[in-house]
A and B are shown apart, each in its own frame.
Chain A
Amino acid sequence: MSSATPTIEKPPYRVVGTRPIRPDGVDKVTGRAIFGADVRLSGLLHGRVLRSPHAHARIKSIDTRAAEALPGVKAVVTGHDFPDPQNKVAASGEGTVNLRSLAHNCIARDKVLYFGHAVAAVAATTPNIAEEALKLITVEYELLPHVLDVREAMRPDAPLLHDDLRTNEMGQRAETPSNIANHTRHERGDVNQAFAEAAVVVEREFRTSMVHQGYIEPQNGTALWNADGQISVWCSTQAPFDERNQLAEILGMPVSKIKVTPTEIGGGFGGKLSVFLEPLAAMLSKKAGHRPVKMAMNRAEVLAATAPTSGSYIRVKIGADKNGCIVAAQAWMVYEAGAFPGSPVDAGAGVIFAPYRIPNVLIDAYDVVVNKPRAGAYRAPGATNAAFASESVIDELAEKLGIDPLEFRILNGAKEGDRRADGPVYKRIGFIETAQAAKAHPHYSAPLAPSRLDPEGKNPAIKRGRGVAAGFWFNWGGKSSAWASLNPDGTVSLIEGSPDIGGSRASIAMQLAESLGVRAEDVKPAVVDTDSVGYNDATGGSRVTFGTGWVAWRLGEKLKQQLKARAALLWEVTPDQVKAEAGVFSCNGRSITLKELAGKLDETGGPIVASDTFESDEYGPGFGVHIVDLEVDTETGKVQILRYTAAQDVGTAIHPAYVEGQLQGGVAQGIGWALNEEFVYDAQGHLLNASFLDYRIPTALDLPMIDTVLVEVPNPGHPYGVRGVGETPIVPPAGAVANAIYHAIGARMTALPMSPARILEAQGKA
């Protein structure tokens, strides 16, 4: 359960801060909600994808004739059925995507770059026939040397993935090709001098494995390329408008010919920001005589060939003076980009020292391609890797200085006016308040249960430890558009374009309800296709409740202004004389409820609608501080989480239950990343654990209840003080768990996952 620690008095909201049942709830608990794979169209064909069995190879030839001849097969496509887009960069999520890379990732042209890379696709009357047809396609490969490790890939003699890739350093391209796509540096002050003068310096290197978002719903897409050239796509996506742009580029069609309908989406966490199957389904539909084609991945395909997030190598060095003040911090970070440039290493570089006030900083960040799937965003992309490294070193520094680890973080914590490690100055942030809330939580002062002895009563077999860690995420505003119409019964239909991935219909509707003065249940939100609402950026970057919520607030205000004018008309006064309060309009002792006024729409001038589009830059970052108790079975190396508390600066919690849920879900993913999850490749670059049995995400049995502390430091840049909350909670867990393991067994863990084998190795038992 949560406790709230408001530090600024909140206005007396009527809707904000309550916990209504989500508008789409009944459909989701009865199985009626339509997810991507539930789309059914007449004449539907089923598509399947042939994938590369090699990590790196040249495609010499593809023979599809036998597959095309199989009864029931209606179309086969390969990379050469698609136009080759230019090296054009488009917005995707908060960042950018190279559309040529994206096109080549959806279906290979001349080379396959990773195990699972798509090389051909088939549409047939049944999924089984499509699957059979794949076996009839003959691909002749010329095997090429591959590289899986980022530091090996950086060597001058490493096999090159792309002959035309040259390292970019802030707008300057290197002369010769390389697997290093990008180098970024942040530098302030003089770290060398500061380290030389520091009382304590800790330096360590860390490795993390490629991990997957692990959404339960596989990627899917249904496309109809109609005879009139109109293309309709139904899919599970976080970003229908981005996908429309991507499809236009990959298919060589204007945006106006493409309509993307986002279905209900079964999780994304950054993994569903770009197209995979949709262009293949569209091209198959065209080749199959304009019949609709549905495609869905199986779990093995999801793991092998979507957009997991980067494994990494990170070296961190931090120094402090004898009073415990951090004087310098240095990081050298290399992230796997997978087969195409674009790892989240720059975000990692922005996050790694973000919670702290540090006068001397040097950060080098490298984006390096390897023969693995194209790395994508995963909830605070790049941040968990970075915080695992920095928070481990921070913990060690605090220990060496003899300072309580939370006290050390508070002592060095960033406040308004302090400079971020990468340069800019913070505005109003709540890191100190969050760390203090964690420190004040009963969990932090509760005695840790003692370690247990082995059956012979000699050695401690089960050792317990407590750890803490902090985390930061930038958040995002982004563009949102929506419209609303007032119904004659006083309810509001709200039309929005932000796919609802975790209850955002509720949090957006609540903000309109609050500003208009109606109940949450009186606002009926609908998420619609790209032709039916103005542009919306992705549901990602923790932006929707902030950005689309802001538009909803404005819609409420606009409807209210119009209603004031209607009341003014009835009372023969001017609109500015009419007051509106909690759904009641009044003037000079007369009053009318919103519901009554809505019933008089026709007699006062007809329908009332409002539309709006808006983007705010004042989203403000989020900070989290986590506490974990765990026990380590020293014989097996297994770690069990005993107790977990996550404190976070959440701005204003619009629907606290879903804010708590974001924290709990982020923690669970972070614990999985910390303890179990990793992509395991063999020496040939084949993914060995492409199932939920072998890529093991946490189950209900692996986790305790997850306590949350919602620290409400309202964001001054939002009408209700909203701050993004979704991403920050995945940042601290790996560091917190590593620190707790250290306090249990006395060994610093420097690689993720901290699997039983690694725990045994750390104890010298492997």
Chain B
Amino acid sequence: MNKIPVQACINGEAVVFLCEPNQTLLEVLREELGLTGTKEGCSNGNCGACNVILDGALVNSCLVLAVEAEGKSITTIEGIAGPNGLHPIQQKFLEHAALQCGICTPGFIVAAKALLDHNPQPTEEEARRWLAGNLCRCTGYDKIIRAVLDAAETLRNT
């Protein structure tokens, strides 16, 4: 089989990988690059567990072919925390107990990062609308929404 070389910037580092033309970005992140923080919940774009930020846009990595990453910049959950520790979104998820099993958490945190990058002061309605592509079966979303709105306030004040 013919593998295709792809150059991308993942979490701030230049990366070169080989992939098959039918492999998804999700599969390559997890299986080839060992970035298993990005989760697979449905493989068809309905649950958001595999959310990554691709050149500033929030995407389901299960719906992106790995070859489409050529020349692009990708942020995964592994790239959210800074050198000095957790990102405020991550910290607020912990403080608000906004996770139970934790499988959807990476997707939610990446999606919330994309939201706050676009809109630093979302209303509850805007946060709910933005995060409606991320399914959580444990929390009923209450604490997740509170964590995201609280993180937004923290980010605005820093």
Contacts and interface: CB of A to CB of B under 8 A. Distances in A.
Direct contact of A and B (CB under 8 A): yes
B140 A667 contact: yes
Contacts of A30: 37, 77-78, 80-81, 86, 90
B94 A22 contact: yes
A674 interface: no
A234 interface: no
Contact of B100 (A40, A665, A691, A705): A665
Nearest to B98: A661
Interface stretch (B2-10, B65-73, B141-149): B141-149
B139 A697 contact: no
A155 to B, nearest CB: 37
B132 A266 contact: no
A95 interface: no
A691 B139 CA distance: 21
A215 B137 contact: yes
A592 interface: no
B36 interface: yes
Contacts of B133: 699
Given A215-B137, A664-B139, A28 B105 contact: yes
Given A32-B37, A501-B100, A699-B132, A26 B44 contact: no
Contacts of A37: 30, 36, 39-40
A16 B142 CA distance: 23
Interface in A655-670: 655, 657-658, 660-662, 664-669
B38 interface: yes
A35 B39 contact: yes
A24 B94 CA distance: 10
A398 to B, nearest CB: 28
A19 B97 contact: yes
B75 to A, nearest CB: 12
Contacts of A764: none
Contacts of A35: 36, 39, 103
B101 A697 contact: no
B74 to A, nearest CB: 14
Interface string A689-732: 00111000111111101100000000000000000000000000
B47 interface: yes
A299 B101 contact: no
Contact of B131 (A264, A660, A692, A700): A700
Contact of B41 (A218, A264, A658, A660): A218
Interface centre among B38, B78, B106 (most CB of A within 10 A): B106
B139 A693 contact: no
A185 to B, nearest CB: 35
Contact of B142 (A655, A701, A706): A706
Q: What DSSP secondary structure best describes chain A's contact surface?
A: loop
A214 interface: yes
Given A31-B78, A299-B43, A699-B132, A216 B97 contact: no
Contacts of B37: 30-32
A657 B97 contact: yes
B158 to A, nearest CB: 18
Interface string B89-117: 01001111101111111100100000000
A692 B45 CA distance: 9
Given A37-B40, A699-B132, A706-B142, A267 B101 contact: yes
B141 A299 contact: no
A31 B90 CA distance: 11
A531 interface: no
By size class, the interface of chain B is: 35 or more
A41 B106 CA distance: 23
Interface string A516-543: 0000000000000000000000000000
A215 B140 contact: no
Given A31-B77, A216-B41, A503-B100, A691 B137 contact: no
A761 interface: no
Contacts of B144: 700
A128 interface: yes
A665 B139 contact: yes
A661 B47 CA distance: 20
Nearest to A500: B101
A265 B132 contact: no
Nearest to A215: B137
Interface string A8-43: 000000000001011011101111111101101000
Interface in B27-83: 30, 34-44, 46-47, 49, 76-78, 80-81
A28 B94 CA distance: 9
Interface string A344-382: 000000000000000000000000000000000000000
Interface string A286-299: 00000000001011
A177 interface: no
Contacts of A38: 30, 36
A38 B38 CA distance: 10
Interface in A293-352: 296, 298-299
Contacts of B94: 21-22, 25-26, 29
Contacts of B22: 128
Given A29-B86, A502-B101, A214 B138 contact: no
Contact of A700 (B78, B99, B105, B132): B132
A703 B76 contact: no
Given A22-B97, A128-B22, A699-B135, A28 B102 contact: yes
Interface in B114-158: 124, 127-129, 131-146
Nearest to B104: A216
A700 B137 contact: no
B43 to A, nearest CB: 5
A557 interface: no
A700 B107 CA distance: 14
A661 B93 CA distance: 13
Interface in B11-26: 20, 22
B109 A691 contact: no
Given A29-B94, A669-B137, A697-B137, A705 B102 contact: no
A214 B138 CA distance: 10
A664 B143 CA distance: 9
Interface in A191-217: 213-217
Nearest to A701: B132
A31 B106 contact: yes
Contacts of B128: 700-701
B43 A216 contact: no
Given A216-B135, A218-B40, A697-B135, A266 B102 contact: yes
B112 to A, nearest CB: 11
Contacts of B97: 19, 22, 503, 655, 657-658, 660-661
B137 to A, nearest CB: 5
Interface of B: 20, 22, 30, 34-44, 46-47, 49, 76-78, 80-81, 86, 90, 93-97, 99-106, 109, 124, 127-129, 131-146
Given A213-B137, A667-B140, A692-B44, 5 more contacts: A19-B97, A21-B94, A29-B94, A31-B36, A217-B41
5 contacts: A31-B38, A215-B101, A216-B135, A665-B140, A692-B44
- 5 closest A-B pairs (Cβ-Cβ)? A31-B37, A266-B103, A668-B140, A664-B140, A28-B102
